[in-house]
Amino acid sequence: MNLGRVSLAFLCAALACEASDVESLATPRTGVLADGSLAGTYVARIARLDDGTSRLEHHLLLLEDRDVELIAPASLGTATVPAFERGTTLQVWGDVDGDRLHVDEWSVLAPAPTPLVDAEPFDPRVIATILLFWDQPGLNNGNADQSMFSGPEATSVFYGEVSYGRERIIGEVFGPYEIPDPGGCDPYAIGVDARNAMLDKGHNPSDYQQLMYHFPSTGCDFGGLADLGSPQFPARDSWYHGSFGCTVRNQELGHNYGMGHSHAYSCGKDEMGEEIVFADNCGHLEYGDPFDPMGDGCGHINAVQKVYMGWLDDCNVVYATADGTFNIAPLETPCDGTQALVVPAFDGRSYWLEYRQPIGEFDVSGELDGVVVHVSDDVQDGGFGPSPYFLEISGTGLMQAGDSFTDPQGVVTFTVEQQNPTHAVVSITFPDGGSGAPVCRGGGDPGEHEGAIGALACAQGPYPADDTPPVVTITYPAEGDVIAPGSGFTITAEATDDRILSDLELYLNGEPVVRLFEEPWAWEVTNIEAGEYEFGVVARDGRNMGLSQAVTIMVGTPTDPDTSGGESTTAPGDPDAGDESSSSDGAAQDPVAEGCGCSQRGGGSSALFGLVVLGLRRTRRDRSRRCAR
């Protein structure tokens, strides 16, 4: 059916809308426009298929949690590179077939948003991992928390190390939640049910920048699926169909940040029966990089992708167009010197040389020792993620001292001269010697070390995992303070951490009350009733937690019989059944109990208070839990 010839109600039925949505759909920026065309937000989505291939899809988001897949002509994009940035507002015309739209024509209504001038590029990535099931058990909360936040090879540790500390992933694991059987593979329907389950347990999905949905087998043809975003504007959603290993979870989050897959070539054999490393007619291996999780490994992400993410820049990347001898520092270590050497290839792309060493948590394989080469276009600022291709030079892809490679058309030859723990030395030669001085990506001179081009100003080792918990102290009130009934005051705390504070949460008599995600660390209390109260504060840094000393106050007089109470504690017991949310706190599980019961100690007028009774006032953007009343 042509969109210009159908009624809004009929089209709404085709897209599974509610009847009440027709009027709301007819807006300037989303849904069905007056001429019958569709308008919405463009998003590309990439799926890792079980058969070893991938599928790129184009979607138009209409209202929240409703989308239509665009079956696109060549003008909308190729099989690997979408034509639009995520967030572009499109108007499209075509034929609807179920939840697909065969596009005849399109128009850009509004470009994708752009970063603010001087915006901080490495704000924390706040992630909710949501565990789901319906007819069979799925992943349990503890294992998911180890995989995402608290374990030695957790995703938070991975992105911290591979980005040299620039990426800070914090968040929580929620569930397992039982949701209705989706009756097939509908990622958006699963996402809606997951978010509703969070809301039912008192959590707001909007508090989290990214949402990861894990669920057991449904018959989907993918192991991982993700919306494509960009480093500064990550996409929100990713889906995990039974899989949650290191490669798939780090890869799908990488897609949220805009990274594409890291490929390899299959070039066949020459007339002597030798494997061809690179030519102009090679086959494509979608997940061919054996070391990078954007391919099929779980080591460091390659240098091309790191430049795209903003983790390598300036003199970390050196371009060479003339003969010379160059130093390359290990890719695993934070450096100010050269970590990627870029030289031209015959087809207009470039060779990217990086030095891999078996150090850190992720490049620990004893065999991962040598110079690795990818061929790729240069990384364009503001563009989509690059498509680097791993070259299997020397049979393993790890060039050792003495190994040499020549471009298929003789454009350049590079040879590994030395391997040292601190750097490799590589010689570059061109048939005519080449021309021009080597230059850093950001401009300027790359410097030299021991007669070779490229400075080697590096840290002693890879960026380590965060194993130091925050320190937190309640600064008011003080232990033993006596306060008049009906008074108002402000509970204040001070907290420090060696890296980042993700949040502070106030506890009342061992139960969580209000959680703050930014300073000031202050909770206002009004009209407090007589009784004895014990306050505590938990501070988190995304992986560890620190607990304050408990502070007990008396409201009334010291002789008031209503102020006597039983035992006190700053940490509650088990979470509510069916919602084992965690806060990624390392060896200790998150002390937060769901439901937020706020109990008064002693024999006051009520054994259970809500926030309204206590008078704790939430501050703007505190993303607090709601207490059950």
User: What does the H/E/C string look like for 94-129?
Assistant: EEEECCEEEEEEEEEEECCCCCCCCCCCCCCEEEEE
248 or 60: which leads in pLDDT: 248
* DSSP structural state of residue 149: I
Structure confidence at residue 74 (pLDDT)? 60
Predicted confidence (pLDDT) per residue in 463-497, tens digit: 988 899 999 999 999 999 999 999 999 999 999 99
Pairing of strands 551-555, 531-540: antiparallel
Predicted confidence (pLDDT) per residue in 182-211, tens digit: 888 899 899 999 999 999 998 999 989 999
Predicted confidence (pLDDT) per residue in 416-443, tens digit: 999 999 999 999 999 999 999 999 998 8
Phi then psi for residue 582, to 5 deg, are: -125, 165
Cβ-based neighbour number of residue 184 at 10 Å: 9
34 or 528: which leads in pLDDT: 528
DSSP element (H, E) containing 147: none
Structure confidence at residue 567 (pLDDT)? 40
Beta bridge partners of 534: 552
Q: Is the peptide bond before 477 cis (omega within 30 degrees of 0)?
A: yes
Q: What is the average pLDDT score of the chain?
A: 81
Ranges of each domain in the chain: 3-110, 125-256, 263-453, 471-614
Pairing of strands 237-241, 210-215: parallel
pLDDT at 558 over 90: no
pLDDT at 164 over 50: yes
Least confident of 406-415, 440-449, 525-534, 594-603: 594-603
Structure confidence at residue 223 (pLDDT)? 93
Hey, which CATH number is domain 471-614, 3.20.20.30, 2.60.40.10, 3.40.440.10, 2.60.120.10? 2.60.40.10
User: DSSP string spanning 392-449?
Assistant: -GGGTS-BPTT-EEE-TTSS-EEEEEEE-SS-EEEEEE-TT-B-S--EETTSS---EE
What is the distance between the alpha carbons of residues 515 and 248, in angstroms, rounded to a whole number? 31
Question: In the predicted model, what is the mean pLDDT of residues 58-82?
Answer: 67
Name every residue whose Cβ is closer than 8 Å to that of residue 364 and which is 6 or more positions away in sequence: 358
2 or 129: which leads in pLDDT: 129
One fold for both 3-110 and 471-614? no
Return the amino acid letter for 200.
D
Q: What is the pTM of this model?
A: 0.77
Structure confidence at residue 396 (pLDDT)? 92
What is the distance between the alpha carbons of residues 142 and 151, in angstroms, rounded to a whole number? 10
300 or 8: which leads in pLDDT: 300
Confidence of residue 100 (pLDDT cuts 50, 70, 90): confident
Phi then psi for residue 465, to 5 deg, are: -65, 155
Structure confidence at residue 75 (pLDDT)? 59
Least confident of 336-350, 414-428, 578-592: 578-592
DSSP element (H, E) containing 200: helix 187-200
pLDDT at 624 over 70: no
Confidence of residue 575 (pLDDT cuts 50, 70, 90): very low
Task: For residue 536, give Cα distances in angstroms to 384, 473, 491, 609.
Answer: 46, 9, 10, 17
Question: In the predicted model, what is the mean pLDDT of residues 329-347?
Answer: 96
Q: Which fold has domain 3-110?
A: OB fold (Dihydrolipoamide Acetyltransferase, E2P) (2.40.50)
Question: Token pair 């990818």 is at which residue?
Answer: 374
Contact 453, 444 (CB under 8 A): no
Question: In the predicted model, what is the mean pLDDT of residues 256-281?
Answer: 94
Structure confidence at residue 367 (pLDDT)? 74
pLDDT at 294 over 50: yes
Question: In the predicted model, what is the mean pLDDT of residues 283-298?
Answer: 96
Predicted confidence (pLDDT) per residue in 108-133, tens digit: 887 776 554 343 447 889 999 999 99
Question: In the predicted model, what is the mean pLDDT of residues 29-54?
Answer: 77
Task: For residue 234, give Cα distances in angstroms to 88, 148, 502.
Answer: 14, 18, 19
Structure confidence at residue 208 (pLDDT)? 93
Contact 276, 268 (CB under 8 A): yes
Structure confidence at residue 283 (pLDDT)? 95
What is the distance between the alpha carbons of residues 586 and 146, in angstroms, rounded to a whole number? 8
Structure confidence at residue 381 (pLDDT)? 66
